[in-house]
A and B are shown apart, each in its own frame.
Chain A
Amino acid sequence: MTTLTASKASFNALNLFFHKVYTDLSNKITVFKIKHSPKNQSDSDFTYDLDAMKKALSQTKIAVPKSALESDESFDKWLNE
């Protein structure tokens, strides 16, 4: 009976200890994530296709002529040139 009481006390002490460590660590991890979040207002799921973006950026850009934006039709025509 004495042994059981001691074990329970030890268990409770350990439980409290680990609970405190867990809580402290959780708080630190949360603070770390917030501090390292760009602008602190992250979209929850934004990402992009890195390979596709690299491929697109490796191309030679073309200037959009003013005439292409004169009307919806001229834009469509320019896209299909």
Chain B
Amino acid sequence: MNYKLDMMPIFKEKSKNFGMSEKIKIKRFMDEFSNGGFNAIDNYLIDSYKVRNKSSDDISKDDNDFIVKVQHALQHNLWHYHAGFYNINNEYPIDNGYKLSDKNDLVSQWLIHYQKISDSHIVLVDIMPHPPLNILAINPK
């Protein structure tokens, strides 16, 4: 079966600025999809634990734009996959970028956002930390 993989220019632009270790993890995700489609990325295991991959309509109820974001995610069929970048403060030791969640799957700070067109076609949209960094909230002290 042929799998179709597209990418938004901003995803490519951001990806080229990562280190080789992060680029390899992006490629690993793309390789998995290219070889097994959505089912492969939805069931990818590291150290016997599943990497979290889920629909982006599951927004925090505390988000001020809860309804708009849920609708936007559903309208565009947005999903996100935990990318496994950076073992920040040694809190993400698994595969040097993941930690085990209370749901017993692997989560990371960085997410690959993508649009699921079908089980055999996705578009990589953006790649961002989670939660999104708010520079204004950073205390200079």
Contacts and interface: CB of A to CB of B under 8 A. Distances in A.
Interface of A: 33, 37-39, 41-50, 52-57, 59-64, 66, 69, 72, 75-76, 79-80
A38 to B, nearest CB: 5
Given A56-B8, A62-B7, A69-B30, A42 B60 contact: yes
27 contacts: A33-B61, A38-B55, A38-B57, A41-B58, A42-B58, A42-B60, A44-B60, A48-B130, A49-B128, A50-B69, A52-B128, A52-B132, A53-B72, A53-B125, A54-B72, A56-B10, A57-B125, A61-B7, A61-B8, A61-B123, A62-B12, A63-B6, A64-B7, A66-B34, A69-B27, A72-B23, A75-B30
Contacts of A59: 8-10
Interface of B: 4-12, 15-16, 20, 23-24, 26-27, 30-31, 34, 54-63, 65, 68-70, 72-73, 76, 78, 80, 103, 111, 113, 115, 123, 125-126, 128, 130-132
A49 B132 contact: yes
B80 A48 contact: yes
Contact of B132 (A38, A44, A47): A47
Nearest to B31: A69
B23 A60 contact: no
Given A63-B6, A69-B34, A72-B27, A47 B113 contact: no
Contacts of B132: 47-49, 52
A52 to B, nearest CB: 6
Given A48-B128, A56-B125, A43 B69 contact: no
A53 B78 contact: yes
A80 to B, nearest CB: 5
B15 A79 contact: yes
A47 B23 contact: no
A81 B63 CA distance: 38
A76 B6 contact: no
